[in-house]
Chains A and B, each alone.
Chain A
Amino acid sequence: MALLEVEHLTVSLPTSDGWVHPVDDVSFTVSRGEILSIVGESGCGKSTTALAVMRLLAENVRIAGQIRLDGADLLQLSEAEMCALRGNRISMIFQEPMTALNPVKTIGFQIMEPLLVHTSMSRTEAREKAIDLLARVGIDQPARRINAYPHQLSGGQRQRIVIAMALACEPDLIVADEPTTALDTTVQRQILDLLLRLVSETSIALMLITHNLAVVSEVADRVMVMYGGRITETGPTSDVLAHPIHPYTKGLIGALPRADLPPGERLVPIAGVVPRLVDMPSGCALADRCPAVIDACRRARPAERMIRPAHQAACIRA
């Protein structure tokens, strides 16, 4: 059994034009020791999926379906039970380390906080553990740095602190939402290496949300491409990127400037724009932007089908 099993997850949001669905009937799993990447453009529902798993969405949002962690449905838990899980068995890494950290508390306090809340550790033990964690995420002189404030650290170091906080209680699942997007390329490389090392050393399951296909290519075991709140393609990373099936995945790859592009070769943008949630087509969400569209695409929403082993796509033309 996979650690995290998400089934028929639908997130509904009330608007003045009626209910819209930023996440629309999404099912996937993440196993221990696995990195699953969710990719797509802004507004495709990837962050909303992450926040739904953490149950951090606003009160007025409706969540339907099942989100099972080790078989237990998170959607059935009370808020108090969920609080006991967050930062403990499941934790989250956000994009902006400066806003994820409290500027008026030392980093030691912030790493110790989940330990003091979720475990029976004393302050001394928690402090020891925090120093350990700082060393583990690659902070030099951890015993001294533990008293530093966030503004005394660089962006990359702050993201390491956020990762240390997420690791504190030895979680089963980490949800990372664009963890390297705000960082410089060289720092991004270090943070990705750190995440890869942590997943290979422990049996953490990592759900990595990103818009960067090159990052996916280097880090993820499996990739899930989302568009218009739906999954368009899932499969092993190398297979999906080398042999994409869905026109949207092909479009994302074709639009990417890459080092191996022959000189003079033009990028191929995806035509049109992402439809607004209130105007989501009833058939395939990509229909208006797809070069391979036929009438049947607009009639019904395409189901996900297994095209190759472990490789699914939701496209009737595949």
Chain B
Amino acid sequence: MSISHQASAVLSVEDLSVRYRLPRRSLFAAPEWFAAVTGATFSVGKGASLALVGESGSGKSSLAKAVMGLEPASAGAIRLFGQDLASLSANELRELRRRFQMVFQDPYSSLDPRHSIQRIVIEPLRDVARTEARERAAEVLSHVGLGVNDLGKYPHQFSGGQRQRIAIARALVTKPDLIVADEPVSALDVSVQAQVLNLMQDLQAQYGMAYLFISHDLAVVEYLCEDVVVLYRGRVVEIGKTREVMKDPAHPYTQELVNAMPRLGGGKRRPAAKQQVKAGSPDENANATGACPYMSRCPRAAEVCRVAPSLRALGNGRSVACHLS
């Protein structure tokens, strides 16, 4: 990664680890930790859109929380607009939050049911005069396809798709440079999902903000995001241009993910031969033994995989963490 690239990056995540403390086995036992994210490095350029994909437990939401400053990093650094998140005071962080906002998955729980839409949307604008705040709220609401007369209404008067638009309006109202969106369309019906995805695309074209988009749906990611980071068990296994990664996945896990994606118009599948699934979740000890976390699931696993691979560049912006590809 070049210096100039870092300077223009809205967000750069360097060797980031996030861990959670597990309940102690006994009062006097040493605390144990669960590594949710281990050594993740990537960056999001100005006006770019980057997706984090992976299955549940891959660490994508932990990463998003760390980027938002909602979860402390146990190692590594998060730089937002060149400033190290960990070095900021609470006041400085609050000041900076204007420039990065979040949209959550469930628009039913992310909007306070007792607050009017106006109060919800202008909440990030604490130090702005009330009349101006109201004007700004009306403006962003019109951008997301709602009107001034919706300002006095309450969340229960809106459908799921409309609520997600309100959540997006709230994120937009401070004119941020980065929006972190954690599964923003996965709770929505397909027709409404299309409205929200189009809206996110239009807003980006208009305001030029960057997206860090978290999703488990590769089709949605391919539609909205130019670049993709694939996570597996808290580690980055592949980075690249979304279209290229989807067309020719390099890491065996990415291959599994792409192959598993149901496709329209592929015709009916023939029932596959019977599979056996291993009892218990795999790879729980991978972090302890230092092996590749994907090893026990990998069809190509070999002796070299007993040592976890590090991410290496394949050229053309693509990197992969696999000895064998």
Across the interface, A212 reaches (CB within 8 A) one of B201, B259, B262, B272, namely: B262
Inter-chain pairs besides A217-B266, A258-B219, A259-B218, 15 sampled, C-beta below 8 Å:
A41-B190, A42-B189, A140-B276, A140-B279, A186-B55, A188-B260, A193-B271, A214-B262, A217-B262, A242-B265, A256-B194, A257-B197, A266-B201, A269-B192, A270-B191
Known A184-B216, A273-B161: A190·B275 in contact at CB below 8 Å: yes
Q: Chain A's nearest CB lies how many Å from the CB of B74?
A: 26
Question: How far apart sit A212 and B216, CA to CA, in the bound complex (Å)?
Answer: 14
Which chain B positions have C-beta within 8 A of A237? Answer: 268
Contact with B along A183-221 (1 / 0, CB 8 A): 011111110110011011100000000011111011111
B residues 236-275 in Cβ contact with A at 8 Å: 243, 246, 256-257, 259-272, 274-275
- A185–B216 contact, CB under 8 A? yes
B150 interface hit (Cβ, 8 Å)? no
- B275–A184 contact, CB under 8 A? no
Which chain A positions have C-beta within 8 A of B194? Answer: 254-257, 267-270
A145 interface hit (Cβ, 8 Å)? yes
Which chain A positions have C-beta within 8 A of B283? Answer: none
Known A144-B279, A185-B261, A259-B263: A251·B271 in contact at CB below 8 Å: no
- A217–B267 contact, CB under 8 A? yes
Which chain A positions have C-beta within 8 A of B259? Answer: 189
B residues 193-237 in Cβ contact with A at 8 Å: 193-195, 197-198, 201, 216-220, 222-224
Question: How far apart sit A280 and B201, CA to CA, in the bound complex (Å)?
Answer: 33
- Residues of chain A touching chain B, judged by Cβ–Cβ distance below 8 Å, are 41-42, 138-141, 144-145, 148, 152, 154-157, 160, 184-190, 192-193, 196-197, 199-201, 211-215, 217-221, 237-238, 241-242, 251-261, 263, 266-270, 273
**Which B residue sits closest to A186, measured CB to CB?**
B260
Question: How far apart sit A208 and B289, CA to CA, in the bound complex (Å)?
Answer: 43
Question: Most chain-A CB neighbours within 10 Å: which of B190, B194, B279, B280?
Answer: B190
Which chain A positions have C-beta within 8 A of B55? Answer: 184-187
B300 interface hit (Cβ, 8 Å)? no
Question: How far apart sit A219 and B260, CA to CA, in the bound complex (Å)?
Answer: 13
- A255–B191 contact, CB under 8 A? yes
- B264–A157 contact, CB under 8 A? no
- A145–B265 contact, CB under 8 A? no
What are 13 contact pairs spanning A and B, CB under 8 A? A148-B279, A185-B55, A185-B216, A189-B259, A213-B264, A214-B263, A252-B191, A257-B197, A257-B223, A263-B243, A267-B194, A267-B197, A269-B192
Question: How far apart sit A298 and B219, CA to CA, in the bound complex (Å)?
Answer: 36
- B159–A253 contact, CB under 8 A? no
- A259–B246 contact, CB under 8 A? yes
B325 interface hit (Cβ, 8 Å)? no
Which chain B positions have C-beta within 8 A of A256? Answer: 190, 194, 219, 264
Which chain A positions have C-beta within 8 A of B190? Answer: 41, 211, 213, 252, 255-256
Question: Most chain-B CB neighbours within 10 Å: which of A145, A186, A253?
Answer: A186
Report the count of interface residues on B (CB-CB < 8 A).
48
- A185–B260 contact, CB under 8 A? yes
Which chain B positions have C-beta within 8 A of A197? Answer: 271-272, 274
Which chain A positions have C-beta within 8 A of B264? Answer: 213-214, 217, 241, 253, 256, 258
Question: Most chain-B CB neighbours within 10 Å: which of A144, A200, A255?
Answer: A255
Across the interface, A215 reaches (CB within 8 A) one of B191, B201, B262, namely: B262
Across the interface, B268 reaches (CB within 8 A) one of A213, A218, A259, A270, namely: A218
Which chain B positions have C-beta within 8 A of A42? Answer: 189
Which chain B positions have C-beta within 8 A of A260? Answer: 265
Question: How far apart sit A138 and B275, CA to CA, in the bound complex (Å)?
Answer: 6
Q: Chain B's nearest CB lies how many Å from the CB of A173?
A: 19
Question: How far apart sit A200 and B208, CA to CA, in the bound complex (Å)?
Answer: 52
Which chain B positions have C-beta within 8 A of A199? Answer: 271
Known A186-B55, A214-B262: A196·B271 in contact at CB below 8 Å: yes
**Which A residue sits closest to B270, measured CB to CB?**
A196
Q: Chain A's nearest CB lies how many Å from the CB of B134?
A: 27
- A257–B275 contact, CB under 8 A? no
B278 interface hit (Cβ, 8 Å)? yes
**Which B residue sits closest to A148, measured CB to CB?**
B279
B277 interface hit (Cβ, 8 Å)? yes
Q: Chain B's nearest CB lies how many Å from the CB of A279?
A: 13
Which chain B positions have C-beta within 8 A of A139? Answer: 276-277, 279
Question: How far apart sit A273 and B257, CA to CA, in the bound complex (Å)?
Answer: 33
Q: Chain B's nearest CB lies how many Å from the CB of A264?
A: 10
B residues 271-325 in Cβ contact with A at 8 Å: 271-272, 274-281
Question: How far apart sit A188 and B263, CA to CA, in the bound complex (Å)?
Answer: 13
Question: How far apart sit A41 and B37, CA to CA, in the bound complex (Å)?
Answer: 35
Q: Chain B's nearest CB lies how many Å from the CB of A158?
A: 12
B89 interface hit (Cβ, 8 Å)? no
B109 interface hit (Cβ, 8 Å)? no
- B277–A140 contact, CB under 8 A? yes
Which chain B positions have C-beta within 8 A of A156? Answer: 277
